[in-house]
Structure 1
C-alpha cells in the first residue's frame, strides 16, 4: 500500500508530462478526491516554491525560511558580535622599575574604558602638560578628548587630554602631585 500525505491542500499542482517520468508517480488529492497523478519530484518542487522562501524581506506569513538565509543571518550575527568585543583590561603604561600599571584600557560593547591611578608612585609636575603615555590605535577616540581627574587634595585641579591622531595622553595639574586617579569611557569607532 502506498504512503499518503494528509492535511495538505494542493489546488494548482502542474501535471507531469510523460518525458518527465523518472521517479515515482503520486496521486494528488484535493478535498478528499483523487484528482490526478504527478511526479514526486514535481510535487516536491511545487511544495518548496509555495512553502519555502529564500528571502530575508518576505512580509507574508506562512513560509519557512530557506537554509541559505540561515547562513546569511549567522554571518550578520557573527559580524555584530565581533564588533562587541569584551576584553579584559590591557596594560597601556607600566613602569619598568616598579611594575605599576598607571594606565590600562579595555574594549567592551563598542566602548573604551580607560583607567589609571598613582598612590605616590608617579609624580605629575605642576602647571605643565605632562606627556603621560600613548594609546594604541584601537583605544583612541575619534576626536581630541579631555577628561577630569581626582587628586589627593581638593585644592589641586587635574585633567587629562587624549589626542585622537597620535594617541598621546597628557596630564595637567595645578600643583605637583603623586596621588591621582582617573576613569573615562568613550565610544570606539
Structure 2
C-alpha cells in the first residue's frame, strides 16, 4: 500500500472523528449525531456549531431538516449514505435518484463536499455489505459525474481503526491481513481531482 494514501486516509479519519490537531487540520470539524433523547432542533444547532468555530460537519445521513437549517451558513458537510442503502445503490438509477434527492437538491446553499458510503462495513464481517460497498461507491460517483457534481462532491467510505493490523508508528501502518483483499479495491477507487 502506498504510504501517502494511508496518511490521507488516516488524516481524513482523524478530522472526521472530530479530533483536531492544529498542525494537521486548519479548521474544526464535528460529528453531528441524532440518536438521543431531547436533542435541539437543527435550527438551534446552527448557532451552537458556529459558536465553537466549527466549519465542517459530518452528518451520518442526509437529513433534510439539517441540510436546510445549514443553508447559506458556509459550513461544509459530509453526508452519509447508510449501510442499509448499499444493496439498493448497486442500481445506477437508484444511485442517481439518491444523489438528486439528498445532495443536488441542497446545493449550492448547503455546502455538501463529500458523501461517505457505508459505515465501518469491513469490520462487520458481513459479506453482503462488503460485496455492495464498492459498487455503491462507483454508482454514486457516476451519478455525481452525470450531474456535473463530481468536482464539487467527493465519494469515500468510513472505517474504524479496527481495519489496521499495525497503527503505530504510522510509518509501519498496515491493514489487517484478512481485509487486504477487500480494502485494496477501495484504495484504488479513483481519487477525484
Q: Mark yes or no: TM-score above 0.5.
A: no
TM-score (norm 1): 0.24
Q: Which has the higher contact order (CA 8 A, sep 6+)?
A: 2
Greater Rg over alpha carbons, structure:
1
Richer in helix (by share): 2
